[in-house]
Chains A and B, each alone.
Chain A
Amino acid sequence: QSVLTQPPSVSAAPGQKVTISCSGSTSNIGNNYVCWYQHLPGTAPKLLIYDNNQRPSGIPDRFSGSKSGTSATLGITGLQTGDEADYYCGTRDDSLAGGEVFGGGTKLTVL
């Protein structure tokens, strides 16, 4: 079981908007910055969002991030078929176990 909880899958039509949630606790999301990653199987995962809501250069503004309390959200607008991928949230956990933690991943299907 992943420390961070994500829905297993989401879907939407091309051009539409979708959000992916990431739920944690005060020991992780509540007190740490959150990142989001896009992963197409067989390729290198890509950093999409850092610092909860910042985009690295080259990431289109169709991708956005937000954080409130112990949850974070990734938003994608103007969906394209190329967005079909697995999306992961990640942060640090300050509990006794500690370390870097990721969500279980969300499979985005663009219908």
Chain B
Amino acid sequence: QVQLQESGPGLVKPSQTLSLTCTVSGDSISSGGYYWSWVRQHPGKGLEWIGYIYYSGSTSYNLSLKSRVTISVDTSKNQFSLSLNSVTAADTAVYFCARVAPRSPSGWRGFDYWGQGALVTVSS
């Protein structure tokens, strides 16, 4: 059974950098075949895709966040990480990590496994 677990500080000061790590078990990031993603949910709002990374290090980001986001991977630890700089109160959200199936002409199995989420509050 694939499991993902987010970890990192729950409180970040404005203008600083939010850093979260997702630890994967039950699958090996380096085996390829999937993308590894971050999604966030602002309080009382819907889901917002942040970006994803492939085991090779190739990334794709939400254009609205691209200038502030970096997603990296550490295959030796079977982890991937999110870094969001210059945070403001608008970045307060629950941050989820998820596994994403690749698309093919015949279909797409979506975001098939998710972590439980980590609440990050931006406040001084």
Contact = CB atoms under 8 A, between A and B. Distances in A.
B77 interface: no
A104 B114 contact: no
B108 A32 contact: yes
Contacts of B117: 42, 44
Interface in B63-122: 63-64, 96, 98, 100-101, 103, 107-117
A103 B49 CA distance: 11
Per DSSP, chain B at the interface is strand
A45 B62 contact: no
Interface string B40-51: 000001111101
A102 B46 contact: yes
B116 A47 contact: no
Interface residues of A, number: 27
Contact of B111 (A37, A99, A103): A37
Interface residues of B, number: 31
B21 interface: no
A44 B29 CA distance: 19
A89 to B, nearest CB: 10
A50 B46 contact: no
Contact of A98 (B63, B101, B115): B63
B116 A43 contact: yes
B122 to A, nearest CB: 20
B46 A35 contact: no
Given A33-B107, A51-B109, A2 B114 contact: no
Interface string B13-29: 00000000000000000
Interface of A: 2, 32-33, 35, 37, 42-47, 50-51, 54, 56, 88, 90, 92, 97-105
